[in-house]
Structure 1
Amino acid sequence: MIVVENLVKKFGSFTAVNDISLEVKTGEVVGFLGPNGAGKSTTMKVITCFLEATSGKVSVCGHDITKDSLKVRQIIGYLPESAPSYPDMTAMSFLKFIGQIRGFSGNKLTSHIDRVVEICELKPVLHKKIETLSKGFKQRTCLAQALIHDPQVLVLDEPTDGLDPNQKEVVRKLIREYGKEKTIILSTHILEEVEAVCDRCVIISNGNIVANQTPDELKKQSKYCGAVNLSMILDEESKIKAKSTLEDLQAVKNVDVISKNNQHKFVIFPQNNNNSIAGAVTETANNFGWKIQHLHTEQGRLDDVFKELTVTKS
């Protein structure tokens, strides 16, 4: 468990983290989101004892980061941003080095290395120098060092940065599995990643927490929650009439249209997101003989909520 209470971190007169409090429980994966410079990485560096807090209190599995920082470092696995490592080492020698620092030797060291090599799929590059590796393999090598001691807590800063779609899915699956028993906090700019792996989402802007909810709860705040996406092929005159007809429906607030030639995507917003308007839209389309290509009701968009919270509350 990670408990952050009234954390403040200043660099001179600049306040990077402004009196934030949060809790990450065992068996929980929490996504840490925010614009560049919002304070995400600074908070993670304080939690992992790489930076000293200006004020406030942080504990990891009951251990205070100030009074018992060595114990905290022992139980945390940390993947910093940009995947730092030793470029002149091979992936194998780097993992051996990290494993030895963690106190492993002999067969135990070998078994821990074998486990993370398998998990992170590093066999093809194990004996190559890190400086020669692709960005994706560098990232996975650094992730392997964070996992090598089977930590209770994982702090991951942009864990899928530089990975291709298949590699991202491998890492996300790993996070989901680890998250069943571990405490995990991860920062990411990839909103689909939050939906894929996170139980809860903490959004930070200008050093302040502006949201702390589940992804589904956040999506319900989106203006797109309950909106109907309707794609049709219509000529220009019919498009204008269709928009007007849809706007006249009782439960409809307004209609946006995105057009390309005669293909039109209508986004139909309900008066409130508790109203289901898909039935009325479908019935209207059928009555007018519109050629429907696609129709679905949106659950809401995280990117819309993220933008709203970080722009209006920054």
Structure 2
Amino acid sequence: LLGYLPEGAPAYGEMTPLAFLNFIAAVRGLKGADRRRRLDEVIGRLALERVLHQPIDTLSKGFKRRVGLAQAIVHRPPALILDEPTDGLDPNQKHEVRQLIQELAQHSLIIVSTHILEEVSAVCTRALIIARGRLLADGTPADLEKRSRYHGAVCLKLHGEPPADLALLPGLARVETDPRYPGYHWLIPEAGVDLYPKVRDWLAERRLAVEELTVERGRLDEVFRHLTGFEPFSDQNRPPVAEDRESVRERENA
């Protein structure tokens, strides 16, 4: 049998968690000592003891999601389907639910349906991208991140603007900036190029003061947009791009 947590974890709000879980256990055919044992197990596992006798409508979103998870696993299903399990939760509540999912995954197959791509990176060992009824990608989150144009990109922040000859760095395809993050530059590598050592050596040769230097794994949201046919940047929202290699040469030869 499957366990299922619908989006928003709907339940009978006037019922208490204890009454609701008793009801679900009965619907699942659990009886007598077996039902009591299963209820004690899920109540303890999801730390519901202190809210057992409160109406569900009065609980926080985090506890409502715990009650939803409890009803989904009370019959010990071999597989769980969770629809948007952390949607609408604050960061602390998201962390709690993700921990619970990881614990449950040790004993059950879990399918998470979500549009929140950070969720995929946080809890999934395999990711499928589906659009308009078609399977577009199937792999680990790390494999999908490698398909991003930001895979291996170097994020650089200096004291001040970088020298213009940065655009001439071998293996560098382009430099991007984003007005939301002043001072940061994303160095996008050419295909198959390990750009970080080149950037490191370039910085060392010029003795530049570095505030931040990191390497990106890739961006699932960018992979998703590409695979589903969404144009990543329109003329209206394209971030400013620093000079590329050819424009630097043209300016120097002018």
TM-score, length-scaled by structure 1: 0.69
Alignment counterpart, residue 264 of structure 1, candidates 162, 165, 183: 183
Instruction: Measure, in 2, the Cα distance between the counterparts of 1:167 and 1:86.
Output: 21
Look up the match of 2:165.
245
Look up the match of 1:284.
202
Look up the match of 1:78.
4
Instruction: Measure, in 2, the Cα distance between the counterparts of 1:186 and 1:260.
Output: 31
Alignment counterpart, residue 101 of structure 1, candidates 27, 52, 77: 27
Contact kept, 8 Å, 1:155 with 1:186, in 2: the verdict is yes
Look up the match of 2:226.
308
Look up the match of 1:222.
148
- Tell me which amino acid in the other structure corresponds to 1:205: A
Q: CA 1:301 to 1:260, structure 2 compared with 1: closer, same or farther past 3 Å?
A: closer
Look up the match of 1:61.
none
Cα displacement (A) at 1:259: 5.9
Structure 1 regions of 5+ residues with no counterpart? Answer: 1-74
Instruction: Measure, in 1, the Cα distance between the counterparts of 2:196 and 2:24.
Output: 56
1:275 aligns with 2:193: yes
Look up the match of 1:23.
none
- Tell me which amino acid in the other structure corresponds to 1:248: L
Number of positions where the alignment pairs a residue of Structure 1 with one of Structure 2: 231
Look up the match of 2:174.
254
* 3-state DSSP of counterpart to 1:286: helix
- Tell me which amino acid in the other structure corresponds to 1:257: T
Q: CA 1:77 to 1:259, structure 2 compared with 1: closer, same or farther past 3 Å?
A: closer
Q: Tell me: higher relative CO, structure 1 or 2? Use CA pairs within 8 A at least 6 residues apart.
A: 1
Please state which structure has a larger fraction of its residues in strand. Answer: 1
Structure 2 regions of 5+ residues with no counterpart? Answer: 232-254
Alignment counterpart, residue 110 of structure 2, candidates 160, 175, 184: 184
Instruction: Measure, in 2, the Cα distance between the counterparts of 1:248 and 1:256.
Output: 14
Contact kept, 8 Å, 1:201 with 1:215, in 2: the verdict is yes
Cα displacement (A) at 1:157: 0.5
Deviation string for 1:223-275 (max 9, x for gaps)? 100110111121xxxx2x62x312101111111134689x6111101111x31
Deviation string for 1:151-176 (max 9, x for gaps)? 01101111123333333233223322
* 3-state DSSP of counterpart to 1:159: coil
* 3-state DSSP of counterpart to 2:183: strand
1:173 aligns with 2:99: yes
Q: How does 1:192-203 map to 2 (within 5 A)?
A: 192-203=118-129
Percentage of identical aligned residues? 43
Cα displacement (A) at 1:284: 1.5
Deviation string for 1:130-157 (max 9, x for gaps)? 1222222222211110011110110111
Alignment counterpart, residue 158 of structure 1, candidates 75, 80, 84: 84
* 3-state DSSP of counterpart to 1:253: strand
- Tell me which amino acid in the other structure corresponds to 1:190: I
Deviation string for 1:177-231 (max 9, x for gaps)? 3323322111122222211221111111122221111111110110100110111
Look up the match of 2:130.
204
- Tell me which amino acid in the other structure corresponds to 1:252: L
- Which stretch shows the higher mean deviation, 94-103 or 154-163? 154-163
* 3-state DSSP of counterpart to 2:72: helix
Contact kept, 8 Å, 1:230 with 1:295, in 2: the verdict is yes
Instruction: Measure, in 2, the Cα distance between the counterparts of 1:138 and 1:178.
Output: 17
Alignment counterpart, residue 139 of structure 2, candidates 203, 206, 213: 213
Alignment counterpart, residue 215 of structure 2, candidates 297, 303, 313: 297
Q: How does 1:1-40 map to 2 (within 5 A)?
A: none
* 3-state DSSP of counterpart to 2:87: coil
Instruction: Measure, in 2, the Cα distance between the counterparts of 1:278 and 1:119.
Output: 45
